[in-house]
Amino acid sequence: MQTNPILDQLIWLSHELGREERQLAILGEGNTSAAYDDGTFWVKASGSQLGNITAQGFSQVHTAAIMELMARDQMDDQEVGQALMAALVDPQARRPSVETFLHALCLAEAGAAWVAHTHAVSVNQVLCSRLGAEPFLRHLFPDGIVVCGRHPAVVPYVDPGFMLAVAVRAELRRYQDVHGHAPKLLLMVNHGLVALGQTAQEALNITLMADKWAKIIVGAYTLGGPNFLPDQQAERIDNRLDEHYRRQQLRGAARAH
């Protein structure tokens, strides 16, 4: 498989997410994707490992084919497998991740260019607790707002794959109706997080900041409970001109389309 700059960056992003000491994903956990300008996108193939993935560990699929499948109400496991293989640009390529549907939605409907899904230990300590995503609905420190956005999107636990994508689609649409833009961070209860970035660097930044945020949440609960920022302060940070500038600098240059 011949590589290209987008695929090279996707490999870099995956390796960064798969670094063992970061505890974001181990073994075959997690998946990444990046949009290509020809109506396709690259997504991790099923069974690949983020930490050591190569170009052969990704599959290129037709975006329109996946989005057309999202018009269905449901699909069984056999139909999902057949549909994913039919959407491949190269029929001989490896089977795409079962989360390909989720990635297509984040790229095509939420406007992301790079998507990173991980099962961070820190984040799942919170999402797998009885509190679920609730502690993430208010902020504790400024950089969580600057990097991850003012509000995360949240979905309850749903069987990974097609039905999860259906739930994510509903949440993305609700979120955009309420806030007027797509989220940067999607939290899936009892499952993990998804970072929606305009650059590979931004997708990594969102993931790392969510990891820090979760660690602070857990620590705060051990010391009497979180001292959340007042809503007006969180709103102020989100709209400060200097923070808008810092966001641009942190995410790096978006590729030209």
Model confidence at 253: pLDDT above 80: no
How far is C-alpha 46 from the chain's CA centre? Answer: 17
Region of 152 (left: φ > 0; alpha: ψ -120 to 50; beta: rest) is beta
> Torsion angle, CA of 172/153/65/35, rounded to 10 degrees?
120
Of 136, 155, 132, 157, residue with least CA distance to 145: 136
Question: Residue 239: what pLDDT?
Answer: 78
Model confidence at 255: pLDDT above 60: no
CA–CA distance, 197 with 202 (Å, rounded to integer): 5
Average pLDDT over residues 48-77: 92
The helix (H) or strand (E) run that includes residue 103 is helix 100-108
CA–CA distance, 207 with 50 (Å, rounded to integer): 14
The pLDDT-based confidence of 257 (bands split at 50, 70, 90) is: very low
Question: Residue 2: what pLDDT?
Answer: 55
Instruction: Tell me the per-residue pLDDT of 114-145, one tens digit each, with 9 for 90 and over.
Output: 999 999 999 999 999 999 999 999 999 999 99
Model confidence at 198: pLDDT above 90: yes
Question: Residue 71: what pLDDT?
Answer: 87
The pLDDT-based confidence of 77 (bands split at 50, 70, 90) is: confident
Edge to edge, the sheet with strand 31-35 lists 58-62, 40-44, 31-35, 114-118, 192-197, 185-188, 153-155
Question: Residue 169: what pLDDT?
Answer: 96
Model confidence at 254: pLDDT above 70: no
Of 19, 48, 7, 16, residue with least CA distance to 31: 48
CATH code of the domain made up of 5-251: 3.40.225.10
| Tokens linked to 178 | 């309420």
Q: ∠ CA(155), CA(100), CA(183), 5° rounding?
A: 40
The pLDDT-based confidence of 243 (bands split at 50, 70, 90) is: low
CA–CA distance, 126 with 128 (Å, rounded to integer): 5
Name the percent of the chain lying above pLDDT 70. Answer: 93
What residue type is 34 in one-letter code?
Answer: A
Token pair 């660690």 in the structure block, residue: 215
Model confidence at 241: pLDDT above 80: no
CA–CA distance, 98 with 171 (Å, rounded to integer): 19
Model confidence at 31: pLDDT above 60: yes
